[in-house]
Chain A
């Protein structure tokens, strides 16, 4: 079986669950012997394209990206095809416009693995290097370029990850006649609450309806897809995300833990409405009222970062709340090693990979009940995101009672080890089989 995967750049060059999920799934599929043609948008270098470290010394427009760092044998069945596009995960129409202003225009299409097709592309569009004027146009442009790549490829099924690749998935499916599997990692309702962007919603809805099969990352998301997008439940499979077993952190000896007098409670994620930073602060305030030796660390950036810093100051807990900005790579491991507790107070979290990383790092977790990961973790404390009293109650309990923390760590770490991308990939392959047999 060959899969045309419309995915996203891998970590560590990108943050967020989307890239991590693409990495884990694709690697596991390759190891299971499923061939994958991995198509992804890759913007030209700019300060916004965080994944691009340095342009290559040659003038061929080849970027150094995470793929250059991959272990070849893990991805022996994968062919990477990059499309010169400025799409990035978690973009909004506003953030896209801001980014566009900062982008220098370069050639339209590049890849270190693909040479063919370049002429085609140039001929087709005539004007290399023009990104869409807004996010909508860029998504459509990406769809056109993806069909050009797909024309020269042989595959059985198309697998598209999140709304920005759905138009591409539809276009390739329409052109090739191959079935489309739409994977949904987050919906517009998760990201924006009730003030949804109509354009984004329409694209999501169109993709979910066109798809022969929908893969949701949790039952929570499945329910949203069924109720808010009127997709019939039989069409939706739930495939939970997983976590790499042999991550770097396991090599870190316990003794390397940072010694400190204070307890540290960690928030790690984008500081946006969806992640509930204000609930974290409100709970922090309650904890600080009754405990002395505790600090709250907020790691991440996002559109609410300024507001959140101000809020901490207004609440009078500015001296107890530290903001690290966006962290990556070793810094993430380091902050986990410092933390006594990780809290994910998300308002709406389709899955939520960070708690798994925390548990893998032996950090106990409190997660909001409004998260998909709450469906798979039993050895985690769970609260309603709005219930700041209970959140504070649980934070204090973990900090105060070592037996609680130890039990959560031990059982949690064990539980996380049972979640494997191989199982997730097998479930995806099952979903492919289900659409292929009916096609």
Chain B
């Protein structure tokens, strides 16, 4: 039996506007650009891909299944800038063949800095998914598949039954990513590991004409999937949803590929499609997978260096989480929301100076000319946020002393 398990990551950050040290207002985000990008990606990817997947689900009578992790900030932006994307996700949810996966609402790195904040964001996201799609997620994935044993334990304690992580070579060793595992000492939560070779064949290499396997056709890919039979249960194809139509443009044939792939896979009676929950329900764990240190799905290193690789990044992250107490003490909802939107990992990814090996990917997603510009911009916003906290604290003090004075 070989089950294809699709999980698509859907995310759009709130990009910052150009915010100079001379600015003093509270409008940090580039509403125009965020709306424009959302609509652009909706037209190139989300809408046509959702329609196609809906069509495939109907065509194969519910045998085709997928799962999504849609960040809270992406959902918020769809709601604001292109509600039709949300309605197509609703239609997908109604088929019963689509699973929604939990993560942090703000696509943040909070697990590394504040467990309280992390748990809060996970709950926020879960609630949003319940409200929107009427599902309670059973599976969790952390921002950019950042993962270690500790996270699995924490997520297990939060009541999740499955967790998604990168099937990095240095973690898997001799093991195959095509089985289900458990974290060491945890029998209640199962791990789904990304088959990065087959995932990246679609996500990165699909249109690469220098690739020996180019062009990648649906029958060829279905054969590779079929080859897993006897050597695994599940082929975990985890990738950015924007792969469809945005990273791989329509003219590469990516939609045609997706259109024909389910039919080819299902030709072999041994194969099927499963959602992550179905995978953990169907297959027993094959053993422990020990991940003592942090891994991710980014770059060649599969580590945290895309967000924590230089002094600017660690400084910016340190500064924002250091503000947690002060921000929350203000009780100011809009201030707290701004602070949370600033936690989105993309802001720190833009500051990455590790350009030389992975330059293309980083530049493609970067709205700034340089990592330095992004750090300067971020720190200017942080400065303003800090002064808002100070002002709020000052007002609280004032009110207190005021109250103490008036009774006399």
Give chain A's interface residues, CB within 8 Å of chain B. 286, 290, 378-379, 381-382, 389-390, 392-394, 396-397, 400-404, 406-408, 411
Contacts and interface: CB of A to CB of B under 8 A. Distances in A.
Interface string B313-340: 0111000000000000000000000000
B312 A407 contact: yes
A293 to B, nearest CB: 16
B365 interface: no
Contact of A286 (B22, B310, B375): B22
B311 interface: yes
Contact of A378 (B312, B355, B380): B355
Nearest to A369: B369
B315 to A, nearest CB: 4
A408 B376 CA distance: 12
12 contacts: A286-B22, A290-B22, A378-B355, A382-B370, A389-B22, A392-B21, A393-B380, A397-B380, A403-B311, A403-B315, A403-B316, A404-B372
B312 A397 contact: no
Interface majority SS on A: helix, strand, loop or mixed? helix
A394 B18 CA distance: 12
A401 B315 contact: yes
Given A286-B22, A392-B22, A404 B312 contact: yes
Given A378-B370, A401-B375, A390 B20 contact: yes
Contacts of A379: 353, 372
Contact of B312 (A382, A400, A403): A403
Given A404-B375, A406-B311, A411-B353, A382 B22 contact: no
B311 A407 contact: yes
Contacts of A396: 21
A381 B21 contact: no
Contact of A389 (B20, B310, B312, B380): B20
Contact of A393 (B20, B310, B312, B375): B20
A379 to B, nearest CB: 7
Contacts of A382: 369-370
B20 A381 contact: no
Among A290, A392, A397, the one with the most B-chain Cβ atoms within 10 Å of its Cβ is: A397
A381 B370 contact: yes
A99 B372 CA distance: 45
Contact of B373 (A286, A381, A403): A381
Contacts of A411: 353
B376 A393 contact: yes
Contacts of B353: 379, 407, 411
Among B21, B370, B373, the one with the most A-chain Cβ atoms within 10 Å of its Cβ is: B21
Contacts of B311: 402-403, 406-407
Contact of A394 (B310, B314, B315, B376): B376
A397 B376 CA distance: 6
A60 B370 CA distance: 58
Contacts of A408: 372
A124 to B, nearest CB: 57
Contacts of B372: 379, 381, 404, 407-408
B69 interface: no
Interface in B36-90: none
A363 to B, nearest CB: 15
B359 to A, nearest CB: 9
A397 B315 contact: no
A401 B373 contact: no
B379 interface: yes
Contact of B21 (A393, A403, A404, A407): A393
Contacts of B379: 397, 400-401, 404
A212 to B, nearest CB: 36
Given A403-B310, A407-B375, 14 more contacts: A286-B22, A290-B22, A389-B20, A392-B22, A397-B375, A397-B376, A401-B379, A403-B312, A404-B312, A404-B372, A406-B311, A407-B372, A408-B372, A411-B353
Interface in B371-388: 372-373, 375-376, 379-380
A404 B380 CA distance: 13
A290 B21 contact: yes
A355 B314 CA distance: 27
Nearest to A397: B376
Contacts of A402: 311
A277 B211 CA distance: 52
A13 B40 CA distance: 59
B321 to A, nearest CB: 15
B317 to A, nearest CB: 11
B376 A404 contact: yes
Among A393, A396, A402, A406, the one with the most B-chain Cβ atoms within 10 Å of its Cβ is: A393
A378 B355 CA distance: 10
A228 B320 CA distance: 50
A261 B310 CA distance: 27
A381 B353 CA distance: 13
Nearest to B373: A381
B370 A393 contact: no
Contacts of A406: 311
A389 B19 CA distance: 11
Contacts of B316: 403
Contacts of B20: 389-390, 393
A389 B376 CA distance: 13
A397 B373 CA distance: 10
A403 B369 contact: no
Among A290, A378, A379, A406, the one with the most B-chain Cβ atoms within 10 Å of its Cβ is: A378
A401 B21 CA distance: 12
B22 A393 contact: yes
A4 to B, nearest CB: 39
Contacts of B314: 403
A408 B21 CA distance: 19
B6 to A, nearest CB: 37
A209 B20 CA distance: 46
A404 B315 CA distance: 9
Contact of A407 (B22, B310, B373): B310
B226 to A, nearest CB: 46
A191 to B, nearest CB: 28
A326 B192 CA distance: 67
B369 A397 contact: no
A86 B373 CA distance: 46
Contacts of B380: 393, 397
Contacts of A290: 21-22
A407 B85 CA distance: 41
